[in-house]
Structure 1
Amino acid sequence: MVRIIKGGVYLYNNQVIVENNDHRTVDEFNRKLKAAGEPPMSVSEAPTPDRARKNTICYRILTEHNVAGSAERLRLKFDSLVSHDLTYVGIIQTAKAGGLEEFPVPYVLTNCHNSLCAVGGTINADDHLFGLSAAKKYGGIYVPAHQAVIHQYIREMMSRCGRMILGSDSHTRYGALGAMGVGEGGPELVKQLLGNTYDLPAPEVIGVYLSGSPQKGIGPHDVALSIIGAVFKNGFVKNKVLEFVGPGVSKLSIDFRNGIDVMTTETACLSSIWLTDEQVKDYYTVHGRPEAYKELKPGSIAYYDGMVTVDLDKIEAMIALPFHPSNVYTIKELNRNPVDILAVVEE
């Protein structure tokens, strides 16, 4: 169902996984390729981790957004920012105190997290008025209350293949549409508003190799919970980027991919990115932004620091119990032994 491969992994033509070790030879590569029906490589084509890691989608996007001279210590500038009404007031007030004169990049302010309905309007109308006035003064994009939810608005209106988006919400994830989303605390958005950078060591990249297709009745959260259950407690993907690849991607609708992608936050990863295809192209076209599409895929030989393989055919209906989404069981397991399982949870 879900298998973890520790150590380096090569992915050949988005199809063949070759686990790396110090003694891997061209002949060994070619035996693996031959078994998969792929053409052999020559000695001069033999990959090395340093060369092949540059063929990941993640590496290319991070490089395009890195303003530092170093590939080891990144200083990132994002293409756009997004906050909801639980966070944008403090962010803008802090940036204003720091000398903010205008938003340097598109900054979307949605009103979907602090919009309690009440007689006569919304309880938090003062926050919303502040957001509207800030958008007018500094040049932001204001989305009124009850019009849209933060992440769906960004998917439909702001995401773009190859872009990076920073949001003050932990589930800032748009990887299924070709954009790397990062969810952070307010101070990181303040830094971007004031022209500073998001600084971090170059993250490791973990491939998530999807094969097969889900059975009838299996949804995106079943897949997501299966992955979370396999990688959270052992910290396998913590602060790393998940790159979704493999032939199984094409078997999933965009909504299905989005449903998996938004839950990658619960793995403790930094961000996520998926290969893009005709379905992504159609999504952007339907939403009136065909120019936002660009094909993203790994190079012919890409190197990952680890791999999570997911056989979609074998994913079962899952349930997450308190107190974290990694506390997962199959529905069958829970039905067979609910008393003991719930007793463990209560402890």
Structure 2
Amino acid sequence: MTVTLESVKEAQSRIMPHIVETPMYRVAALDEYLGCEVHLKLENMQVTGAFKYRGAINKILQLSEEEKQKGIITASSGNHGKAVAHGAGELGIKAAVVIPETAPPFKASSIAQLGAEIVYSTVTERFAVSERMAEENGYTLFHPYDDDDIMSGQGTVGLEIMAQQPSLDTVIVPTSGGGMLGGILTATKESTSAVSIFGAEPAMLPRYTRSLEHGERMTVESCRTIADALVSVQPGVRNFPVVQKYVDGMLKTEDASILKAMKMLLMEAKILAEPSAAVGLAAVLEGAYVPQRNEKVCFVISGGNVGFDQLVQLDDVSYDIR
């Protein structure tokens, strides 16, 4: 299987009874700060608080009865694991989640509360651990992004964006392994939409920026970033060709700008976004992308699972009007 516009549309029909069609929020209060007409796609209001539930439930709903009985496993820094745990719990399926040691404790706790088995690992070893456990126990492996069913499910965000605001000029998508970016690119670029799509990633983990520059998947050094949901060190095998074919550019941003964007969303738009969800706005604040004053820009707010310790960091953060 490969991801196509048709597979994204099929995913939308399949998952619609299980997800929230999240709002497209026009926020004029942010126009002066970002220098454009600001629209927010609020995936922080999705089931389990992040876009990840779209892909997880799309794959879960296609499991055979034998696969359901044996159980499922995934590797995740938080949001995907929570989505898999929730979907599995809804259908009475055993789930295990391999979590990197860098994941915020509150995310690990929320996964455990949903009934999933928690296994800790390093960021670089998490996928190897989940693959080994899948083989040893007969689990079905749920890769958080390098999977066609997952990517098709995430692509439904793009279908909703086009239906809710067809006159957009630009969409900026938080990016790690490339599941949501690849899905949104497929949904938009294989339709009649003329919208430009950019990915945004932490400057400390520029896996897509470097990979696109070199024309092949590159691995970057693992390091900590406040954007804890964007810690993949290499683009996905299935994701990279889609991104390489369709993306209009990649944007990088520093952690300091991400904190500014988080606080700006909270104070000016009254939107609680996790750090990883604020990278698109941070990239514009930093000047990585400079929109036109009348440009209609949609920022995908990918999740809202925020720990109190992350909110405390905003206390001394300030931001300015452009």
- TM-score interval, normalised by the smaller of the two chains: under 0.3
Name the one with the larger helix percent: 2
TM-score, length basis structure 1 = 0.24
Rg larger in structure: 1
TM-score, length basis structure 2 = 0.25
Name the one with the larger strand percent: 1
